[in-house]
Structure 1
């Protein structure tokens, strides 16, 4: 079955910074989507901040198996309505792959429920990424470690919830370390955060980085139908209880009345 992926890009730096434009003339989102489309079982399209509804209409998201997110300069410009649609789809089972500075994006912070803050330094330093969970599907075909000659430093403490799994840890030339690949599950949706990807370096042209993102999309994919029941909070009447019971005592709600949310 073909995995339907959407690569969402903020698409600002590519138009305002000559260095970024030179590395990604068609946008980072297009480079990432092209890498995904090199896989026979992934069909990737793109969406950007500037499109109507940021390219994230309800219909578009309903037809999306895995959403990838890159943002940096203007997280606040993403409408709360679009964020709510994304979060609801993750709860229902859509996969989410959050890249680099997307750690401060509205959808990721909403799903994590924490500040998602970290240390950082833009010095083009050497990053060595260690595969610390080699048996994980996202690490398939990835060496024990690999090097990015120039990257932005992200350092601990990274204020996210304890992950289900840590797949990659980075070491930087300045001495910091960072949990660069972590997974979570929210509702029926699988979430993966992957650190590398500063816009002034050609990180998304790196074959190993591309392989990890390809693997992540396949891991995040949930083949089951959308779990719409995740949003429901039904008032179950006495007569529908699994075992016979007798109603007694005062109650706040009438039969069939919805509860407070």
Structure 2
């Protein structure tokens, strides 16, 4: 497979709060993801996007591992958070937001819907209904022509997963790619995209820490497709400045 931009490899940073692995459920997480969720996602990207340059960062790193230098060298950022959203520094959130507005792609995964970054970019609470009874999830493709859905069966089944349900407090998406239905009868818009400034944002809900969802072959295909979609090698990166952040947000 050729490189996503025809020459230079896509540069991917995988961010994980790394709290369940170190404080909450280390033995359970290690059973599925011995290198943490960030390690599993990094391996997924390396497998699905051959030639990608992948690094990981976690909450406990200096500047949460998301310095200006790291972000400037990132084409696509994957963000996984769950129970430590409030521990993410506001100045780091503002920094990441500027880079998304400047053209960096973002994949917001599972409980990242409540992250400071996601709610700040979308301007809503990100609230939803949920129930964690380890139910069957059926993921249906709505936009079969979308590149994120390429090579994905319609539908595909995740046998055990946390239920996310409507209403989901997000703005109308640019594209609705997937919806999910659950054993309890709920439905959920599980895969959506938005454009923010120059950056592309893809939210994908499957991926609770209690289940091996990131080992599922079709979930892996979706996320690999998502990285390629979010990467825009032909779009010039224009990152808004800290001193005058509005000046450059929507420069054509």
With structure 2 as the length reference, what TM-score do the two structures score? 0.90
Which of 8, 17, 21 lines up with 1:14 in the alignment?
21
Correspondences of 1:73-152 after superposition (within 5 Å): 73-152=83-162
Whether the 8 Å contact between 1:90 and 1:187 is mirrored in structure 2 is yes
Deviation, 1:111, is: 0.2
1:65 aligns with 2:72: no
Whether the 8 Å contact between 1:91 and 1:187 is mirrored in structure 2 is yes
1:226 aligns with 2:237: yes
Instruction: Tell me the alpha carbon deviations over residues 104-123 of structure 1, each in whole angstroms, 9 at most, x when there is no partner.
Output: 00100000000110000000
Deviation, 1:233, is: 3.5
Whether the 8 Å contact between 1:13 and 1:21 is mirrored in structure 2 is no
The answer to which structure, 1 or 2, has the higher relative contact order (CA under 8 A, 6+ apart) is 2
SS, match of residue 175 in structure 1: coil
Instruction: Tell me the alpha carbon deviations over residues 120-165 of structure 1, each in whole angstroms, 9 at most, x when there is no partner.
Output: 0000000000011110000010011100110000000000000000
Deviation, 1:229, is: 6.2
The answer for unaligned runs of 5 or more in structure 1 is: 235-261
Which of 161, 183, 186 lines up with 1:176 in the alignment?
186
Cα distance in 2 for partners of 1:153, 1:63 equals: 35
1:215 aligns with 2:225: yes
Cα distance in 1 for partners of 2:95, 2:157 equals: 37
1:237 is matched with none
Q: Bigger shift: 30-39 or 92-101?
A: 30-39
Cα distance in 2 for partners of 1:115, 1:86 equals: 18
Aligned Cα root-mean-square deviation (Å)? 1.3
Cα distance in 2 for partners of 1:131, 1:212 equals: 11
Cα distance in 1 for partners of 2:246, 2:216 equals: 43
Cα distance in 2 for partners of 1:26, 1:48 equals: 12
Deviation, 1:14, is: 1.4
Task: Pick closer, same or farther for the CA change 1:90–1:125 going to 2, 3 Å.
Answer: same
Cα distance in 2 for partners of 1:206, 1:14 equals: 20
Cα distance in 2 for partners of 1:42, 1:158 equals: 33
1:157 is matched with 167
Cα distance in 1 for partners of 2:182, 2:204 equals: 15
Whether the 8 Å contact between 1:14 and 1:24 is mirrored in structure 2 is no
Cα distance in 1 for partners of 2:173, 2:231 equals: 18
Instruction: Tell me the alpha carbon deviations over residues 218-239 of structure 1, each in whole angstroms, 9 at most, x when there is no partner.
Output: 00012123124684539xxxxx
SS, match of residue 200 in structure 1: coil
The answer for unaligned runs of 5 or more in structure 2 is: 1-7
Query: Which portions of structure 1, spanning 4 or more consecutive aligned residues, are displaced by more than 2 angstroms?
Result: 228-234
With structure 1 as the length reference, what TM-score do the two structures score? 0.87
SS, match of residue 163 in structure 1: coil
